[in-house]
Structure 1
């Protein structure tokens, strides 16, 4: 199964290059459309990038859990349309998924994309009932730079305070290969975004943990070459445990940094049970079981 998934990824990527499509678009082309309903291009702010899409299950029931997803891209690239396979994966499992764009560098630096992320959560809490979602079961999730956004929204109260909310409104947060402790910055693309060498310490999620922080699910690729999993995922998990916050920490050996999120897609699920772990966390199964590696 894994070999087949890898073959699909490689062949799909090559076809995508030939056709002018990214590998993410290839995954979207292989994603079914009959498992969800989608409401597109909803405004949550005044900027043209302040738009979001809502994915709901086909057989929509009232008051189902809600996941707000933030994509990665080093805070300088990305589009919610690239991640239809994530919205489909969650909606097909009975979750209302909110996928949002946010302003990117050079239009904004740190803090602009966090202002937008907070507005997305505020919009979701206010409006999601009309899409069948339960605002009392609200999660934020992100991959890579989006994992940073999710962490900051969940851990630093000032962001949600700007939309008259507190992190306690979140049932939990999910970080996928997120950077949570990355000073001094080494990535040249990221340096100007965080005002290097004068990057503020309060820009780091790991500095905002308290006993009141929401429960967390942290997943990383063991051999991630872009975001150090030991320092970021491992360090975040240790700090959360020190404060008594429930956290589940998982490391997978087969996916890499990018393919960790690709494992949400149907062709790539053989790489690692990332979607299964997210669903178990949302439904409250074993939320504080500690550290796990590939079984």
Structure 2
């Protein structure tokens, strides 16, 4: 059985190599032929949360009909200029199998969009969740966010900077926790073509950086990276984790040995799950926080730290 799994994994790798897989490359081949978690299923496709062509989302639910289950909104990566929810069904089913009603939204990409358009799209998707997720067995009062790479940036910014959710009438405290996988959180000065074209027109570049919004009111965070990531270096994860800890925010930080940038999303799949215990650790942390196990206020930060899983 192990040999069969290894052979299948090799086939997947060849397919990804043929696609020139990188953070910004499509995952359609992998998503189409890879095995899926049997504990999750697609419940709704292409639900509209806005008027544009990239304002749709998919909903995945546990096979056992959920009732007031925690809701996880996952944002995919792709350097803010590529990507599609349709290539991440393996993530939707994996997270649904862990007990989350899982939402995968699309969002506008460069060159049609620049900062902060994709954050406004993410906030609009969360507003849709608030208004509609109970239909699918989700609890709109218990929302957690997660993302990979550029999607981790989106998730963390939406969790840390309250302006985007407040702009759509959502109390930011409804976000119980956030998970970032290989995310860029502190990238000034803008020193790559990607960041210059996506963020360069911002009037105040400091307002584009998640690091600058970490504080005592930030939600608990699961932050993970791979020690072989040369695309978004592990320093981003370490720096944000340290900033949040300094504000007495519960943090679980993981640096997985042998994983590179793409591995931290592939490790959520059945095929590559043996690479790291990422799915189990992230899901446990988010489920714990969604259950309200950390009750903390500005005047009681020590209790929040003690209650980390």
| TM-score normalised by the chain length of structure 2 | 0.86
CA gap of 1:49–1:27, structure 2 versus 1, over 3 A, is closer
Q: How does 1:40-51 map to 2 (within 5 A)?
A: 40-51=45-56
CA gap of 1:9–1:240, structure 2 versus 1, over 3 A, is same
Take 2:232 and 2:17, find their aligned partners in 1: how far apart are those partners? Answer: 25
Q: How does 1:13-52 map to 2 (within 5 A)?
A: 13-15=13-15, 23-32=27-36, 35-52=40-57
| Selected match of 2:184 from 179, 189, 195 | 179
Q: Which moved more, 1:88-97 or 1:44-53?
A: 88-97
1:180-205 superposed Cα distances (whole Å, 9 cap, x missing partner): 00111222122111117976111000
Contact 1:65/1:282 (8 A) holds in 2: no
Take 1:177 and 1:267, find their aligned partners in 2: how far apart are those partners? Answer: 20
| Selected match of 2:271 from 239, 261, 267 | 267
Aligned to 2:286: 282
Aligned to 1:111: 116
CA gap of 1:19–1:247, structure 2 versus 1, over 3 A, is closer
Shift of 1:215: 0.6
Contact 1:240/1:247 (8 A) holds in 2: yes
| Selected match of 1:219 from 200, 204, 224 | 224
User: Secondary structure of the equivalent of 1:260?
Assistant: helix
Aligned to 1:153: 158
User: Secondary structure of the equivalent of 1:228?
Assistant: coil
User: Secondary structure of the equivalent of 1:234?
Assistant: helix
1:189 corresponds to 2:177: no
RMSD (Å), alpha carbons: 2.7
| TM-score normalised by the chain length of structure 1 | 0.90
Take 1:3 and 1:79, find their aligned partners in 2: how far apart are those partners? Answer: 32
Q: Which runs of 4+ in 1 moved over 3 A?
A: 1-10, 15-24, 32-35, 196-199, 285-291
Contact 2:181/2:224 (8 A) holds in 1: yes
CA gap of 1:249–1:3, structure 2 versus 1, over 3 A, is farther
